[in-house]
Amino acid sequence: MNLLVSSTREGPFAGDSNFYRKARSLQRKLHESSGLFPSELYIEGVELQYDGRQVGHGGFADIFKGLWNASPVAIKRLRSHVDHAKAREALFREAFTWEHLNHPRILPFLGLDFDSFPTYLPCIVTPWMENGTILQHIKRNVLPIESIETLLLEITQGLAYLHDKEVVHGDIRGNNILIDECWHVRLADFGLTGFTNETLRTVSSINHAGSARWMAPELHNPERAGLDRFVRTKASDIYALGCTILEIYTGNVPFSDVPEEGAVAMHVTYHSLRPERPPEISIDRWSLMEDCWRQDHLKRSTVALVLKHMEDMNFGVSVEENGDSN
């Protein structure tokens, strides 16, 4: 199993997408039959801080802070401590996928920690992002619009990388976008991620997590959209991206005037409603968002097209201008 993992990263088949898919399929079968994780995914020597007290939470995990090799790390513990086969299989898939991602806009995966919470599923360990989420960063520093649009461009670059790798993020929103020590974006929380042609196979409660405010209409009611099942896709990522752009421009969640998420789902699914354009957002920026959240998932922009439109509209200034003003 370890040989398969290493052969997808180095050697003559590294970078071969066809070999990677076959190796990944074989890895999954080996995991299903043995219940084991490749030791190359293990991380040892993680030390919990704050007496093991929880410091935050994400869409699918509780967050703890620790140290590994003298560096601060985030320890993400799946909320269910029941080590059942489907949850373990889902974790294996996500860890194997994330471990092979390498991009400056993606939060790095350090490994799986089996020791900190032995009665739970293994914890996902990532670098600790001291600057918090993009929403906290913008609020704390009162960034000018040019700097905000640089961050929006970086988010889209990260998503473009994922989609180029045939990976669906599954939960794009402000709280899952972190800011690193150099004030760059890092996309995080891949608990909903899956290869686009395998999303259906991830059939656990983990996959149906996420917020209704960022969810595309076909996720609320697949049958109404002509689909035969719930499935997260690149198109649903694009819908969420449009909602996230609005969230970051305004500092408010989508449909902030609608208190109940169930009502939001009804609005977008059955009435094709979308948020109203705030006066501070220009028409061309609003058009960019409208192209992302078209009702018909087949008519939405691709991430490459969104990226091109952003570049044409001169998104992106010197990243150094995004530094903390405190």
- Would you state the pLDDT for residue 208? 45
Domain limits, CATH 1.10.510.10, in the chain = 134-322
- Would you state the pLDDT for residue 16? 66
Torsion angle, alpha carbons of 180, 183, 253, 295, to 10: -90
With a CB cutoff of 8 Å and minimum separation 6, the contacts of 81 are 117, 119, 120, 121
- Would you state the pLDDT for residue 125? 96
pTM for the model:
0.83
Q: What is the pLDDT along the chain (326 residues), one digit of tens a residue?
A: 555 555 555 666 566 667 666 665 665 555 455 566 778 889 999 999 999 999 988 767 899 999 999 999 999 998 765 556 777 777 888 888 888 899 999 999 999 999 999 988 899 999 999 999 999 999 999 899 999 999 999 999 999 999 999 999 999 999 999 999 999 999 998 755 443 333 334 433 333 445 889 999 999 999 999 999 998 999 999 999 999 999 999 999 999 999 999 999 999 999 999 999 999 999 999 999 999 999 999 999 999 999 999 999 999 854 444 445 44
d(CA 246, CA 225): 24
Q: Assess contact for 238 and 219: CB atoms under 8 A.
A: no
- Would you state the pLDDT for residue 78? 82
DSSP string for residues in 181-205: TTS-EEE---TT-EETTTGGG--SG
d(CA 127, CA 307): 27
- Would you state the pLDDT for residue 40? 83
Helices (H) and strands (E) in the chain, counts: 10, 10
Superfamily in which the 134-322 domain is placed by CATH:
Transferase(Phosphotransferase) domain 1 (1.10.510.10)
Domain limits, CATH 3.30.200.20, in the chain = 2-127
d(CA 48, CA 27): 30
308 labelled ligand-binding:
no
- Would you state the pLDDT for residue 95? 87
CATH code assigned to 2-127:
3.30.200.20
- Would you state the pLDDT for residue 24? 58
